[in-house]
Amino acid sequence: MGDRDVLARVREICLALPEAVEKPFGGHSAPSFRVRDKLFLITSEDGRSMMFKAGPGVQEALVASDPDRFFVPAYVGHKGWVGAWLTADQDWDEIAELIEDSYRLIAPKRLAARIRRPGPGGGDA
Distance between CA atoms of residues 123 and 39, nearest Å:
25
Does 121 reside within a domain?
no
Is 120 within the bounds of a domain?
A: no
Could you give the number of structural domains in the chain? 1
- What is the rounded distance in angstroms from the CA atom of residue 102 to the CA atom of residue 54? 6
Question: Does 117 map to a domain?
Answer: no
Q: Is 123 inside a domain boundary?
A: no
Give me the helices (H) in the chain, please. 3-15, 58-65, 92-106, 109-112
- The pLDDT profile of the chain, 125 residues, written as one tens digit per residue, is 566 789 999 999 999 999 999 998 877 888 999 999 999 999 998 989 999 999 999 999 999 999 999 999 998 999 999 999 998 888 999 999 999 999 999 999 999 998 875 545 544 43
Q: How far apart are the first and last CA of the chain?
A: 31
Tell me the residue range of the domain where 93 lies: 3-112
28: number of Cβ within 10 Å: 12
pTM of the model: 0.87
The answer to whether residue 49 sits within a structural domain is yes
Here the CATH number for the domain that contains residue 19 is 3.90.1150.30
Residue 123: its pLDDT value, please? 44
